Structure 1
Amino acid sequence: MREQIHTESFVSSRFADILIIGGGLSGTMLATQLLRLPVQRTILIIEPRAELGRGEAYSAVELGHTLNGNAARMSVDPDNPDDLTQWLTEHIASGGWPQSAEQNVPVCELFPPRGMFGVYVQQRLTEARAVGARHGSTVEHVQAEVVDLQMHADSVRLTLNDGQNLQGAFAVIATGMFPAARTPQTRSSGLNAAALDPWDVTAMRQLDPQSSVLIIGSGLTMVDAVVSLEQAGHRGPIEVFSRHGLLPHVRRQPPSWADFLGDDPSIRTPRQLLHEVRRHCRDAIAQGVDWQAPLDTVRVHIPRLWSQATDVQRRQFVRHVRPWWESHHHRSPPLSAELVERLHKEGRLRIQAASFKGLEPGAEDGVAIRIRRRGEAETCVIHGAALINSSGIEYDWRRVARPLPQQLLGRGLVQPGPLALGIAAAIDGAVLNENGQVANRLFAMGPPLRGMWWESTAVTDVALQAKALAARLVGTSEN
């Protein structure tokens, strides 16, 4: 067994009660919940970005890059589902988002820009700081990257990329998502080096407006990439390649529907779930009701269904159902969907069901990729002026070439989660090492727990996890 526990002390290390690794949405929401509890705590958030609360998802600066859920669905307060709606109402009234009037819908149905959502998260943290200060709690942003972690009998020690050492009674892995488009990966770094960032409008302005752009992946990142190209003034053809050729459906505001999964606990397997969802969607359509209504009731039950499924059932879901689940459930904001539909009808945007097989070297004045179209045995080469990698999120930590994931996996301090999605953990978020032992000082939350709960990335999921983990950490340290 690899050495995992170190007992020597490090006098030079700074100490805090709780170390939060990652200061995006997950880490910031955890800090917010901890500060609200009436217990004195010192909290350090280690985040390489200059701002907390934004992370990868909410660092976008273009107004066209919006949330894919409306305000009523995106509250960071699990005790107040209207929290974002209330904040947005005040923000708009103060002149913060005059463009919101163009959507011509109630505030609760608005799809705010992601950058604005980051401001909302930051403001809730600021308010929590004031609450925490009344009972002596503090939170500090350490702008650095955690590159290593060591477990001690009485603490956790972090090593940062600037040479600092930090120690805490507890540490929480809240690293958020590793987007395939921006994250170095052990098997596809060449692709990312050759591809444009899906959100880099400035770089896209350097392209010939009439040139052909190739996009790999047809999910929500692709939708963002198309929005970026439009805002950059691109007017040429866009070729999108994805294995199944499925586009995200547009998010609508359906009426309520009976919670059929809550009413029938006998529905447990992916096959049963798929059968019932289809049946209820057909019933809804027959009644003149949007099919999204019954599908939206499934969301709250996914963690239970996923966690109680066998590995065989999970693999069946991932292999046979996942593409359709993603396109039907992870929907596009209306304005972005309208743009994609318009470009598709104009013939400027074409979706092809094809597998990406690699980059072709030696392309002049642009890029060349090799693909294999669905149903065809032979591959072919496609040329374009630029390439965008919109293949989504990399959940397999074994493929993420960042120091901390590689160190934790390499030394057996964590193990891959079910189906190699994220990392394994107990139900309360305590991580499991390579031997299945439960850590008593190291926890995880949010996207790293994808394999545990399947849906562990949405704002509402992370909000609930943050509240539960904050109570767990405070309760543990008080015992």
Structure 2
Amino acid sequence: MNQSSSDKRSADILIIGGGLSGTMLAVQLLRQPGQRQILIIEPRAELGRGEAYSAVELGHTLNGNAARMSVDPDNADDLTQWLTEHIAGGGWPESAEQNVPVSELFPPRGLFGVYVQQRLAEARAVGAQYGSTVEHLRAEVVDLQIADDSVHLTLSDGQCLQGAHAVIATGMFPAARTPQRESSGLNAAALDPWDVAAMRQLSPQSTVLIIGSGLTMVDAVVSLEQAGHRGPIEIFSRHGLLPHVRRQPPAWVDFLAEDHGIRSPRQLLREVRRQCAEAIAQDIDWQAPLDTVRAHIGRLWSQATDVQRRQFVRHVRPWWESHHHRSPPLSAALVARLHSEGRLQIHAASFKGLEPDREGAVSIRIRRRGETETRVVRAAALINSSGIEYDWRRVARPLPQQLLARRLVQSGPLALGIAAAVDGAVLSTDGQVSDRLFAMGPPLRGMWWESTAVTDVALQAKALALRLLR
């Protein structure tokens, strides 16, 4: 820290990242009585969007309906109410195509970003009455150091900041857009899953390969469709599982609230299967009992041993992802239609690397499940839809690398994100709990397993704001 403290911009709270996590924390801080200065450091031009809600295509929708996606932890109907007013005022006329009540609508992710921004604007007005301010600095944090009484940040534009507390709210690192320390060259050769303009440059009848079969793949298929692509799509993922479509099941008894004896992944899986079978026998959607599990995942994950967590990740995770992280109905219908037409094929196979190819084409080496030999597959284009990179040791961004190098953070359980105390206080490599540096949202994936959904982030933002103000 060569620059003297007097030369640095100061704030009470420094928020690193201005996507959903950082913005929701700012909203909660602004709503609390008292005067404070908040700085949000975010390289994007707009707050509240991040990776997830910067999408501009109407076809890229939330994977949860409005009733599930409120950013207000005290009002589950907040998004439904906002959409009702927005649609009545002439916004989003395409909503009529879904032909469902407002609470069951799946809004475009770009529109959800507008909703988040409006809630921030309203919180600014409340904060102004208390004398609180929030300012957006458009830059990237490239280094962080902790002193006895403050946190010091270095930004990509050369600015230096200091604050009483700093919060790591960096959100998700999509594999398709995140530089890797040990890169296979996949991203350099692949199209961005959300870049419709680039896909319009493809021959409409060309073959496209997609690595990964989760929700990012669904977005990639939507992007191809909107770009006018009408050729074959070949999808490769380790287990060959597609996301189930999200439906609106009826209420089901919260069986985990009634039985705290269920602790291990094996016990959970056995009971979930039993509950789903019982629902099906009653002619009730199996998604009903599965949806009750969501509220207990944090407790179950945090009390599990590392051996049990590894068992879950190794044996259960693919099915958990495909059954729980479901596709919005319109997108799922598109994938199902292309599959029934024979244009879209899903293969259980592992990606083993790129192969040299002549200009204008791409070749990859894959190994099909159950086989020992690899084979080469060739197409006009490739899309990396392999999801999110949670292992900070692999993320080639300045801040994660500096935090690890300075031993200010340690990897979370199973190398998922970073470790922290229950209140979000970050743990250093030597196990010290920081009283200056905190984290929330996706960086805490290893602590709670599910730490990315809107409701998770909203609850964490409220709790962390109260903790910071104590």
In the alignment, which residue of structure 2 is the partner of 1:421? 416
**Cα displacement (A) at 1:9:** 4.7
Q: Which amino acid aligns with 1:330?
A: H
Distance 2:356 2:174 in 1: 24
Partner of 1:11: helix, strand, or coil? helix
* Whole-angstrom distance in 1 between the partners of 2:91 and 2:306: 48
Correspondent of 1:322 among 306, 317, 333: 317
Is the contact made by 1:7 and 1:153 (CA closer than 8 Å) also made in structure 2? no
Residue 243 (str. 1) matches residue 238 (str. 2): yes
- Cα distance, 1:364 vs structure 2: 3.8
Paired position in structure 2 for 1:448:
443
Q: What aligned pairs does 1:26-425 form with structure 2 within 5 A after superposition? A: 26-188=21-183, 190-425=185-420
Q: Is the 8 A contact 2:427 2:434 kept in 1?
A: yes
Aligned-partner Cα distance in 2 for 1:112–1:97: 9
Q: C-alpha distance in 2, partners of 1:433/1:35?
A: 29
Give me the whole-angstrom Cα distance separating, in 2, the residues matched to 1:402 and 1:256: 43
Q: CA shift at 1:365, angstroms?
A: 2.3
Deviation, structure 1 residue 189: 5.5
In 1, are the aligned partners of 2:184 and 2:353 still within 8 Å (CA)?
no
Q: CA deviation at 1:187?
A: 2.0
Letter of the aligned partner of 1:420 in structure 2? A
CA contact (8 A) 1:76 1:84 kept: yes
Alpha-carbon shift at residue 188 of structure 1 (Å): 2.4
Q: Which residue of 2 aligns with 1:464?
A: 459
Maintained 8 Å contact 2:140/2:156: yes
* Superposition deviation, residue 186 in structure 1: 1.3
Q: Please say if residues 17 and 43 of structure 1, whose CA atoms lie closer than 8 Å, have aligned partners that are also in contact.
A: yes
| 8 Å CA contact retained: 1:210, 1:235 | yes
Residue in 2 that maps onto 1:3: none
> How far apart, CA to CA, are the structure 1 residues paired with 2:284 and 2:64?
20
Q: Deviations over 1:272-302 (max 9, x none)?
A: 1000000000000000000000000000000
Aligned partner of 1:432 among 427, 431, 435 = 427
**1:339 positional shift:** 0.1
The 1-side partners of 2:122 and 2:63 are apart by 26
Look up the equivalent residue of 2:270 and give its one-letter code: H
In 1: Cα distance, 2:201 partner to 2:230 partner: 13
Please list the CA deviations of residues 122-145 of structure 1 after superposition, one character each: whole Å capped at 9, or x if unmatched. 000000000000010000000000
C-alpha offsets along residues 235-288 of structure 1, whole Å, 9 cap, x if unaligned?
000000000000000000000000000001111111110000000000000000
1:39 Cα deviation (Å)? 1.4
2:352 match: secondary structure: strand
2:15 paired residue number: 20
CA displacement at 1:304 relative to structure 2: 0.2
Question: Cα deviation per residue 1:58-103 (whole Å; 9 max; x = unaligned)?
Answer: 0000000000000000000000000000000000001111000010
Structure 1 residue 363: Cα displacement: 3.4
Q: Which amino acid aligns with 2:304?
A: A
SS at match of 1:100: helix
Query: Secondary structure at the residue paired with 1:298?
Result: helix
Distance 2:24 2:8 in 1: 26
Distance verdict in 2 for CA 1:183–1:8, change over 3 Å: closer
Residues 18 and 169, structure 1, Cα contact 8 Å, conserved in 2: yes
Work out whether 1:473 is the aligned partner of 2:462.
no
| Structure 2 unaligned spans of 5+ | none
Q: How far has the Cα of 1:8 moved from its partner?
A: 8.8
Which residue type is aligned with residue 112 of structure 1? P
Q: Distance in 1 between matches of 2:469 and 2:151?
A: 16
Q: Distance in 2 between matches of 1:110 and 1:32?
A: 25
Q: 1:438 & 1:327 partners in 2: Cα distance?
A: 35
CA shift, 1:411, in A, is 1.3
Aligned equivalents of 2:116, 2:337: Cα separation in 1: 33
Q: Which runs of 4+ in 1 moved over 4 A?
A: 6-9
C-alpha displacement of 1:174: 0.1
Check the 8 A contact 1:7/1:152 in 2, yes or no: no
Q: With structure 2 as the length reference, what TM-score do the two structures score? A: 0.99
Aligned to 2:326, what secondary structure does the other structure show?
A: coil
Report the CA distance between 1:190 and its aligned residue: 1.0
CA distance in 2, matches of 1:112, 1:186: 35
Determine the C-alpha separation between the residues in 1 that align with 2:132 and 2:243: 43
2:130 aligned counterpart, secondary structure? coil
The Cα offsets for residues 207-238 of structure 1, whole Å up to 9 and x where unpaired, read as: 00000000000000000000000000000000
* d(CA) in 1 for partners of 2:219, 2:6: 48
Matched-pair identity in %: 84
CA-CA distance at 1:114 after TM superposition: 0.1
User: Where does the alignment leave 5 or more consecutive residues of structure 1 unmatched?
Assistant: 1-5
Distance, in Å, in 2 between the alignment partners of 1:421 and 1:105 is 38
Provide, for residues 297-335 of structure 1, a one-character-per-residue CA deviation record: whole Å limited to 9, x for no partner: 000000000000000000000000000000000000000
Query: What does the per-residue CA deviation read over 1:168-224, in whole Å, with 9 as the maximum and x for residues that have no partner?
Result: 000000000000001111122611011000000000000000000000000000000
Corresponding residue SS for 1:40:
coil
